[in-house]
Structure 1
């Protein structure tokens, strides 16, 4: 059986993961300043482009569930090459688009394939190498997701300053091509995770329809009133379907996702923290960049968010130091605190000023880098490592919904709640601040009512072996009900 010449070499495999994740994640944060340029060049309306972005984000969210299902029945590394090939095709279509239709198709494929690659490539990087490599992996993972997002506004400012957009998209296509080449060079056969299990068509249907409807409705709020049926009906209907998805997975005998196993103190607290941090950070950047867009050049505006990259680097390095210790729990709480303070600094003046945005973005970078991925590990350590792919799918789905769906809703509030955009943005930023605080308070409260007096240190070695969780997570509200024992670990996965 074919085996790539660089198979098993950690530096190359980790580089492949970086190149696979960076393109779309950077674009997702870079589109704002260059949206009018793309619309004008391709003769697209801003409404069509907003819907395209919404559907691409929906594809990202749906892909997290599709990837988990495909991994159960199909050779995972072969699928990785297929996903990478599709990402290259989508990226080339988008960069070379001569009309709106080609751009729409290409960008949606980019969103879908990025999450397929994320779920297929990252868990093996975490569990497929010796324990000594795990520290490097967590730093790389943190930088992949948030370093790329933080760099998005900078890249957008550089590109918008030259009044173009295609060079950025061609660079993205080149990085996607490098990821595909590396996935071939590092190929080694990986069997399906659980070939004999049934396909969860209900979960796939609910996730697909729910995400597409929800993100479509959210994108409509950028150009329509919430009172219009085309906006509120798909948004609310989509969110209800996503809720039904988790109820179905909790009650199903053979679920695709390990919802019931995650229904205990540590995972729920971690997921709440990740969702609040993602929603607050992405929305704060979107709001402040929009309100300042008319006051300064795209390049200067993009550079104001460069400290966020530095903050993300600091957070990633620090995470590599603490993830094996009991400080991991407090690290997430500290991250949400930094995030909330950063948003408050951004919102300290009306309108926001350049120095405050620069300082605030640095604090936000530290905060989001110290909260989302660390919270993911708090959830992941609560199950055995051979279930990390399913855990990652759940957390990324919920993070995507929080990060990409809340932003348009808060933009709608900013443009309609007050008489002018500056005052409306100030109100919306206070909501972002509230989300950050809520994540910290709710997470800490769940620990208290869960009876957690001394947060445990994860047993990384036992977790890496796949034989046991990293720790026993107390049942929800165990401190109130005096129940004993850990969660229902992997019984229904």
Structure 2
């Protein structure tokens, strides 16, 4: 009996505590990634880091976030998952303290990179067990929590960063992140349950982790170097394209592998997961031009806090869509949600295009629309992809989608910023061009997934959450890719029958 007690924390099995642990673990870095912009000059001045150095620090932290999605899957297969989760949170606390107490560039960059790495490790390690470990009745709440953690935190970042910049400091922000991370560590210990590895017989797969590390590091390094170098240089476009090529090699190698670490083949041969991935990538890319670039044009007109407040309606949009996702996750209409979200995202970019630079009124309206659009696209698309496959693959599905989304969102931002400054002769013209490109992404991100649905013969279905959470069945049937176009798979089959076939 005493042995059992040592393997369970006093709050083990309590959903509110487990959910709070997930939120405290994910929110700090994701909010910080959006909040760091206004305080970047202050950090650079205090620690002697150039603008290029700060760009590189953010780029490498984002690269670590991308790599962590793959590394987390490898660890989950072979190691005790909850023990590893405590390790992840503990290292997150160490990284947060390093960044907050940094006395030199190396200390700050090391801490910030650890923050990015551990956040993605925790995302993959903590969210799927939260979704599957408390029954179908809690699945809706988990969907809401994940949407709020990923997108609500990001939309809150500019206001928090602006508030900190107004006080001409940055350490209180980072110490606050460290405190929240420490609270996550306490909750991780209190909710501990010793969960065995997912598959101890799984092969050790260093190659996909290595490919993800090399590809992400190269691509994000190239994108970050655009702060002070031209696009057509080896250290910028060369590294960026080379890194993306390595990530393509990762996907192809996993597709061809007989025992892959990532379920690439299963996802890329099924209609709904492919449509979800395409939509998530285009939504992440389109949203960059609607927020970061339009805000950059307001720097000379308003203070950082004022700008952060102008974009605060994005948070309201993210909270509304998180609630809607939880409400619709058990209904067939959840499959419509990402397409509707892309419409809102396109409308938001259209409002920003009315006048460049945007007025305060168009900024408030545009940010509200893009907040709804972003919240209604990526998270619902991710869950649509996950529900199309057996629940045992949920960690791997999340890992694939988050790896690709991180590349699309975090890497494209500096590319767009570079072109806004260099194309068209002035920043206003360059930003307008980038907004048109973002609008094109939003439209393409609506039409391409819709075409994939039609060519695959997919039809909206009510998800069977009980079967999905409790067994190895998908929540609905996803036809093979292009099945309708090839003349088969037109008839929708129930999820259980399709999983056995």
TM-score tier after normalising by the smaller chain length = over 0.9
Structure 1, gaps ≥5 residues long: none
CA distance in 1, matches of 2:451, 2:354: 28
Alignment correspondent of 1:329: 335
Counterpart among 25, 28, 34 of residue 23 in structure 1:
28
- TM-score where L is the length of structure 1: 0.97
Is 1:112 aligned with 2:103?
no
| Contact 1:344/1:433 (<8 A) preserved | yes
| Contact 2:208/2:261 (<8 A) preserved | yes
CA distance in 2, matches of 1:138, 1:132: 11
| Contact 2:85/2:122 (<8 A) preserved | yes
Alignment correspondent of 1:348: 354
Deviations 1:206-249 (A, max 9, x none): 11100000000011112210122111111000000001111011
CA distance in 2, matches of 1:146, 1:79: 25
Counterpart among 4, 13, 17 of residue 12 in structure 1:
17
CA distance in 1, matches of 2:125, 2:371: 26
Alignment correspondent of 2:382: 376
CA distance in 2, matches of 1:190, 1:280: 39
Deviations 1:296-334 (A, max 9, x none): 111100101110111111111111111111111111110
Moved more, 107-116 or 348-357: 348-357
1:112 is displaced (CA, Å) by: 0.4
1:283 is displaced (CA, Å) by: 3.8
Is 1:200 aligned with 2:225?
no
- TM-score where L is the length of structure 2: 0.96
What is the aligned-residue RMSD (CA, Å)?
A: 1.5
1:490 is displaced (CA, Å) by: 8.3
Deviations 1:69-113 (A, max 9, x none): 000000000000000000000000000101111001000000000
CA distance in 1, matches of 2:356, 2:235: 33
CA distance in 2, matches of 1:217, 1:341: 31
Alignment correspondent of 1:156: 161
Alignment correspondent of 1:319: 325
1:284 is displaced (CA, Å) by: 2.2
CA distance in 1, matches of 2:262, 2:174: 34
Q: How many residues align?
A: 490
Is 1:173 aligned with 2:178?
yes
Label 1:162 to 1:489 Cα distance change in 2 as closer, same or farther (>3 A): farther
| Contact 1:50/1:219 (<8 A) preserved | yes
| Contact 1:462/1:468 (<8 A) preserved | yes
Alignment correspondent of 2:49: 44
1:274 is displaced (CA, Å) by: 1.1
Moved more, 249-258 or 134-143: 134-143
1:162 is displaced (CA, Å) by: 1.0
1:68 is displaced (CA, Å) by: 0.4
- Within 5 Å, give how 1:231-310 maps onto structure 2: 231-263=236-268, 264-310=270-316
Alignment correspondent of 1:86: 91
1:342 is displaced (CA, Å) by: 0.8
CA distance in 1, matches of 2:300, 2:238: 33
Counterpart among 413, 418, 424 of residue 418 in structure 1:
424
Deviations 1:7-63 (A, max 9, x none): 110000000000000000001111111111110110111111101100000000000
1:282 is displaced (CA, Å) by: 3.4
CA distance in 1, matches of 2:315, 2:435: 21
Counterpart among 406, 409, 412 of residue 406 in structure 1:
412
Q: Secondary structure at the match of 2:297?
A: helix
Q: Secondary structure at the match of 1:257?
A: coil
Q: Secondary structure at the match of 1:7?
A: coil
Is 1:218 aligned with 2:223?
yes
Alignment correspondent of 2:138: 133
Alignment correspondent of 1:144: 149
CA distance in 2, matches of 1:489, 1:127: 21
CA distance in 1, matches of 2:51, 2:427: 18
CA distance in 2, matches of 1:489, 1:289: 48
Alignment correspondent of 2:487: 482
1:267 is displaced (CA, Å) by: 0.1
| Contact 2:279/2:381 (<8 A) preserved | yes
CA distance in 2, matches of 1:133, 1:20: 19
Q: Secondary structure at the match of 1:192?
A: coil
Q: Secondary structure at the match of 2:357?
A: coil
| Contact 2:66/2:403 (<8 A) preserved | yes
Q: Secondary structure at the match of 2:398?
A: helix
1:489 is displaced (CA, Å) by: 8.3
Deviations 1:341-386 (A, max 9, x none): 0111122102211211111111111111111110011100111111
| Contact 2:290/2:370 (<8 A) preserved | no
CA distance in 2, matches of 1:149, 1:283: 15
Alignment correspondent of 2:468: 463
Q: Secondary structure at the match of 1:481?
A: coil
Where in structure 1 do 4 or more consecutive aligned residues deviate above 2 Å?
Answer: 483-491
Moved more, 248-257 or 136-145: 136-145
